[in-house]
Amino acid sequence: MNWTRISSIIIVGFTAIGAIYGGLSFVFMPSGDLLSLSTGLLEGSPFVDYLIPGIFLFLFVGLFHLAALIYLLKKLPRTKEVMFAAALVLAVWMIVQLFIIGYVFILQIIFLVIAFIEMFLAIQIKKQK
């Protein structure tokens, strides 16, 4: 197993776990209390609580990254494309979040950087084939 694939598995797996946990936390407690977030952060956004963002985070970021992880682990065809698409969804998620609520936590920037790292790794995997 090469370092590109190992790094991809670690980063995509970490992102999947984080997005699934965060999304489900918002779904089960839309007030944000489970993650120590105030709904005040959502002022000026179209949301009154974290339920809808939680559903989107879980479904589109979390499950998409879980699918990419499965593709990576099983070495399925189109792994690079699925991984790149999952990274693109994460990047869009973070950029939209930054536009809607602004910069609040360093994690926003970290996950945006992770999205670009995932894209880079997906391109590297494609080059290795």
**Do 2 and 128 contact (CB within 8 A), yes or no?**
yes
- pLDDT value, residue 126: 78
Task: Give the pLDDT band of residue 128 (cuts 50, 70, 90).
Answer: confident
Q: Which two tokens stand for residue 30?
A: 């839309």
DSSP assignment letter at 86: H
Q: Could you tell me the CA-to-CA distances from 122 to 27, 40, 64, 76 in Å, in that order?
A: 30, 37, 14, 13
**Do 11 and 114 contact (CB within 8 A), yes or no?**
yes
The predicted model scores a pTM of 0.92
Percent of the chain with pLDDT over 90: 91
Q: Could you tell me the CA-to-CA distances from 52 to 12, 47, 80 in Å, in that order?
A: 23, 7, 29
